[in-house]
Structures are given as structure tokens and as C-alpha cells.
Amino acid sequence: MTQTLSNLIDGRLTAPANGRYLEVFEPATGRCYALAPDSDSADVALALTSAQQAFPDWSQQPSTERARHMNRLADLIETRLEQFAQAESRDSGKPLQLARNVDIPRAVANLRFFAAAITQWASEAHAMEDRALNYTLRQPLGVVACISPWNLPLYLFTWKIAPALAAGNCVLGKPSEVTPLTAQLLAEASIEAGFPPGVLTILHGSGAQTGQALVDHPAIKAISFTGSTRVGAQIALSAARQFKKASLELGGKNATLVFADWNASEAQLDTIVRSAFANQGQICLCGSRILVERSIYAEFRERFVARTRALRVGDPLLPESDLGAVVSQAHFDKVMGCIALAREEGGRILTGGEAVAVPGRCENGWFIAPTVIEGLGAQCRTNQEEIFGPVVTLQPFDDDAQALALANCTNYGLAASVWTRDLTRAHRVAAGLHSGIVWINCWMLRDLRTPFGGVKQSGLGREGGVEALRFFTETKNVCIALDP
């Protein structure tokens, strides 16, 4: 049975003004199971009217009251964790256990973190000896747009809307049209949580239509976007023309640097494998270029390939499945095309490189074997362009300088991980990496207080902690003469 989804506008679930819908497919089966609104500028206009009416009251509420609404929403998601996890797995193709143990709990944590953070956010004061006192106000912007991607649907949607709401803004949120189901559940929960109408709006639709209408509208005061570098560049141009704030978290071609003195334990190897293939490699932080010191290259390659071959690709609902399906037919075709390109460039496929047939209900799903490739130079397209799938390359290096040169030789700069027991090297290499995030002997350990974002074509601005609250507010300095 096909489910019909709704927009959330003015505190009510509503159909799109144009009556048009987009098909939503389950990656594991390849079948359409839902219809999402194909919203356009008319829906954006209705949503903006409601949000602008709600903004004065919402922005003036005490931070503790805004936090109460957010905590109530977090409680409702947590109570329905299994329902949300099932929806996230069905929507995106990721293993149910990943949605259950990581994605949905993190969405809850996002809401609770920023609910607490806003009540503890302090201003600054600067005394000018006996002449004057300066203090800083950080005031909400108004109505802001939060546009999130398909790979971590609820996880990243809440990562954006939580600080925006906590800071006193009204939010027009657009989830990916590819994975809209948990956003629908979030809309229903927000009504139950008692959010005032217009404070949180959720609009479904395509990026080209709904997203562009949000980005271009002059009443939108800021845009927080996670997605491709290509789309991010278009948003940056539109925002610049209007002198509009934009936070852009974009692509990555992340390096994993393994030095000869790494721990070499099974646990660390497992983490490196997970950093390559988690969520079918569809995480912007996945390490898709694995750089290994030449003296241990052969041994590491053997162990890494063996561990990769042991990963089980299958029905996302089964607990034994390590990897599920990639998100869409179009993305399946893209990733398989990238593997074909690697072969043309002279790459050797050490394991994987093909589609995986999963019998039963998943016989028409979009499954790809985790793939490891070696023998390619640093400047080839396979090592330069983001694939965003279960595909990694192996490259040897001879010393620290070459490792840094290889790691830094792409146009991206989001994340990197460094594996060494030499603390001096760890600090030196971390400082030399052109990345917004560096992990040492770990991966995906996230403290929500820390800044998150990339350099070069991996983005603009930072999310997380006070960085997010600052982005969603306007800074104003007040100077009072002490002896007027």
C-alpha cells in the first residue's frame, strides 16, 4: 500500500498546493512505497506567512520555554524509536541496526543538546576602564531555511533545526525528497509536542523546485545546507547576491593515514574498515582514500581486504547484514560507473566491484559489494572525485611528508583520520592536514560541543555547539558610556 505524505505548514499536515507528488522508493526492494509532496513556491509562500507571524512570540519566549518544547519532541522520538528506525531503514536502505543504534538516538541527542545549550549560553561584556561598558547581544534572525541530505535523514535534519529553533528562529525545513519518511514522523511528533503553529515548517519536494524557492526568497534570513559541492556552489551564489548568511557542509574525499607504528589491533582495523564502508560508504566523513606506509602496506592490504570480504551485504532488516542498499537507482548507477572508471584508469579490484543479488524481497534492490581498489595514482579521477559509495582505494607512502602531500592533494578538505602511536607525529600531521576535522586513532567520535565543517570545496562555515548558535543569530554590540 502506497503511503501519502504531507507538508507541515502552520501546525497542520497539508497537501501541496499544486496537488503534485513525487514517488519515494525503498532501496532494498526497488519498489515505490510512498508519495511525497512536490511543493513549489506557493507552498513556500504559505509557509513563510505562517512562520513570520509566529516569529515575534517564539523569539521572545524564554530560552527555557523553547528548550521545553524541544525536549518534549526528543522524548516523543525516543518513545517511538523503533518506529523511526524502521522508517529510516526503509527510506534509505541502511541496516536497521544502524538506524536503531546510531541515527535515531543521535537525532534525540541533537535536540536535547541544543535545548540545554541555549539555556547556558552566556553573553560577553567588555569594560573600557572607567569610560564605557560593552555587552554583546545575539538575537534570532527570523525565518531560516534548513536543507538536509538523504544519507543521514533525521540525524542531519535535527542537527540543523535544533540550534535554529533553540536560538529563537522559525524554521522552514526541507528534507531530501529521496528519504522523506522520518521527516513526516517528526512533523507529526512536533504537533503532539505542542510547538506553536509556524515555528517549525516541513516542506517536501525537489531541490530544484522547493529548495531553490527557499534559497531565493528574500524573507529567508539564512540557509543551512548539507549536500553536494555542486549544489552548495549554487546556493552560495544566490546567498551572496542577497548578502544572506549561508552555512554549507559539502562533499569529501577523506584520507585515512596509517603509519607503520599504528596499533595494528583487530579493534583498530575494524574501525578503519567501518570508517570506509559504514552506511554503504554514504557518509561524508567516510575515509575513501586509505594511505598506508610502504613498509606495512602488503600486510595491511591483506588484513584490510580479508576484513572487507567478511562484510555481509543483505536485507537491511536482518541483524546479520553489515551493509544494506545504496539509496537509489540513480546512485547505484553512479557508483557502478565509478567502479568501471577505476578499471579504465588501470585500478586493480582487490575485492568487490560488482552488484550483489539479494534473494527474496530484495531481489530488485540496489546492493553493491564493498570494493577495494589499488594501483591508481593520486591525480586520477577515482582518487579526486567523490564517489559516496562502498568504494575505497589503497595507496602507499614512504614518509610523513609524502603522506601529507597525498592526503592534501584533492579539492576537498572535510575529514581525515591518522593512525599512529607517535604522539609528536600525531600532532604534527594533524596540524598539516587540510581538513576541518582530524581523528587520531579513532573515527566518528563526535562531541556535539565541537565545531564541525570543512575547508576548500568541502564547505563554508561551521556547525555544532556555539558555532551553530552563533550562525543562527545576529550579533549586536551595545556600548554604554559610564559617565554620560
Residues involved in catalysis = 249, 284
Partners of residue 144 on adjacent β-strands: 171
The burial of 52, by beta-carbon neighbours within 10 Å (0-12 exposed, 13-18 middle, 19 or more buried), is given as middle
In which element (H, E) is residue 160 found?
A: helix 153-166
- Beta bridge mates, 125: 135
Cell of 356: 550483489
DSSP 185-223: HHHHHHHHTTPPTTSEEE----IIIIIHHHHH-TTEEEE
CA-to-CA distance for 428 and 290, rounded, in angstroms?
19
Kindly calculate the radius of gyration of the chain based on its CA atoms and give it in whole angstroms.
23
Residue 45 DSSP SS3:
helix
Q: Tell how many helices (H) and how many strands (E) occur in the chain.
A: 16, 23
What is the grid cell recorded at 223? 540557509
* Cβ atoms < 10 Å from Cβ of 444: 16
The identity of residue 418, as a single letter, is V
Orientation of helix 63-79 relative to helix 153-166, angle to 10°? 160
Q: How far apart are CA 253 and CA 232, in angstroms?
A: 16
For cell 593512525, what's the residue? 419
